[in-house]
A and B are shown apart, each in its own frame.
Chain A
Amino acid sequence: MSEPVVSMKNISYAYDQKTVLNHINFEIPKGAFMGLLGPNGGGKTTLIKLILGLLKPDEGSVQLLGGPIGKFKDWNRIGFVSQKANSFNKGFPATVFEVVSTGLTANVGYFRFFNKNHKEKIIQAIDQVGMLEYTHENIGNLSGGQQQRIFIARSLVNDPQLLILDEPTVGVDYENVQRFYELLHRLNDERQITLLLVTHDTGTITEHATDIVCLNKTLHFHGKPEEYTSLSEKDLSVFYGHPVNIVTHNH
């Protein structure tokens, strides 16, 4: 088996005195489609920030693509679609093409222009998320689900090995959530992109993910979706710190 994309050893992190992550050990295997579950304030976003190098752990070490994070330079190999991508200024006058091009900005570098090759990459990424016909449409005219695809395309232009999505389906209707997961499967299968998806929607993620991780300060669960769904309400209450009602999705 090849080396994991992300490997966290004994990670702890606290904001001021408040511990958010307590001795976390976990790995994201290459090619995985991992769902990250947990209550609000359980440290999901902090964990992502640690992987992205935006925060430094108080304790422990992070390895990205086989090397220590301190020496990691290939940041464009890691795509990130933030929760905030949903709440951008809807009236911003930019076309889909222009938005996706911002994914390449840092990669291309200062004082350089986009060449033909870059433009092809942008078009390819838009095509990959099935939005080619909207290439020259203003982003503000698209639906929430379509905008979400555009933000994924923005990450895809850099051929990421790992794509991190922070609650991407909030505010997206059921049908588009299904199409969204189809897209993620395509990226996972065809382009071998490892996925880490933060979500509250336990019903849907357990149908799609290959691995489930449950985080509430410490790692409460790490295993296959079948194992997660076979957990009792009592077990889940322990994870979440309050009683849980399992709601099954029978679509």
Chain B
Amino acid sequence: MLADFLEYDFLRYTFLTGLLIGIIAPLLGTFIVVRRLSLIADALSHVTLAGIAFGLLLEKKFAVTLITPLYSGMAFSVIGSIFIEKLRGVYKAYQEIAIPIILSGGVGLSVIFISIADGFNTELFNYLFGSVSAVSINDFYTILGISIFIVMIVGLLYKELFSLSFDEEHATISGIHAKAIHLLFIVLTALVIAASIRIVGVLLVSALMTLPVAASMRIAKGFKQMMFLSIIFGEIAVVAGLITGYYLSIPPGGTIVLVSLIILLISIAAKKYNFTLKKAHENNLQKK
């Protein structure tokens, strides 16, 4: 089943990119979920859409690629993320209001760019729901660079990110620079979203950041374990979703989300029957 993915270049880069976003999306998703910011990913993906539409518009008007949609999407996403963080500071008591403001702003801009360009046909459809054939070699290298950067930053600042997520007041009192780290984190989130959109699509990218986390939260012991499990679930969803999407000619965004949902349901059921990793481990020991 994997044969086509290894044989054709365009599929191979999609596959490798899929493996990368299967790591970075749940990695940041873990912090996003525990900080109750799940909807921020949605807001940012819609801003990214505006950026992509802007890039496609330039392409269509000038007939040359000044800036690829990946880069314009990324630029919009990062700017949007900085706005969200600022808005969260302005509305301290109602921080979630930043989300509809940025989300509607993103959709509004997208509509304007799309209508100026008189539509983009299938190209835009690919961006909305993802595509197996949309990743160029240049995109792949860009996303590889982003992934390395993100894993490095999260690794280096792991204990600060964790402390802030668990108890922001205590972390701030003890001298951690909450504002700077939050800003850096949300910019990283914007980059992940821009990187993931080619494969998962605007409408479903937040699912890849939150569903694997929701599933692992049910059965994991502790935060680190939850993070690793989320990545494993994310990888399973991406690989299974890409392959089935390709063979059934369905945009992979749909199949990836569906696989994620199945994993989520299984983990909820497992929790209900009181299965945790520790218990499984104990059972194994007993058998020995």
Contacts and interface: CB of A to CB of B under 8 A. Distances in A.
A110 interface: yes
Interface in A46-76: 52, 54, 75-76
Interface residues of A, number: 33
A82 interface: yes
Interface in A108-125: 108, 110-111, 113-114
Contact of B175 (A75, A80, A111): A75
A94 B157 contact: no
B171 A111 contact: no
Contacts, number: 75
Nearest to B158: A113
A99 interface: yes
A136 interface: yes
A105 B163 contact: yes
A218 interface: no
Contact-size category for B: 20 to 34
A103 B157 CA distance: 15
Decide if the interface of chain B is mainly helix, strand, loop or mixed.
helix
A93 B171 contact: no
A98 B170 contact: no
A251 interface: no
Contacts of A93: 34, 217, 220, 222-223, 226
Nearest to A73: B175
Interface in B139-167: 156-157, 159-160, 162-163, 166-167
Contact of B160 (A82, A99, A110): A110
Contacts of B4: none
Contact of A95 (B174, B217, B221): B221
A80 B162 CA distance: 19
Nearest to B174: A106
B250 to A, nearest CB: 33
B86 interface: no
A102 B165 CA distance: 10
Contact of B166 (A84, A99, A104, A114): A99
Given A95-B222, A103-B174, A110-B157, 4 more contacts: A98-B166, A99-B166, A102-B162, A102-B166
Interface of B: 34, 156-157, 159-160, 162-163, 166-167, 169-171, 173-176, 217, 220-224, 226
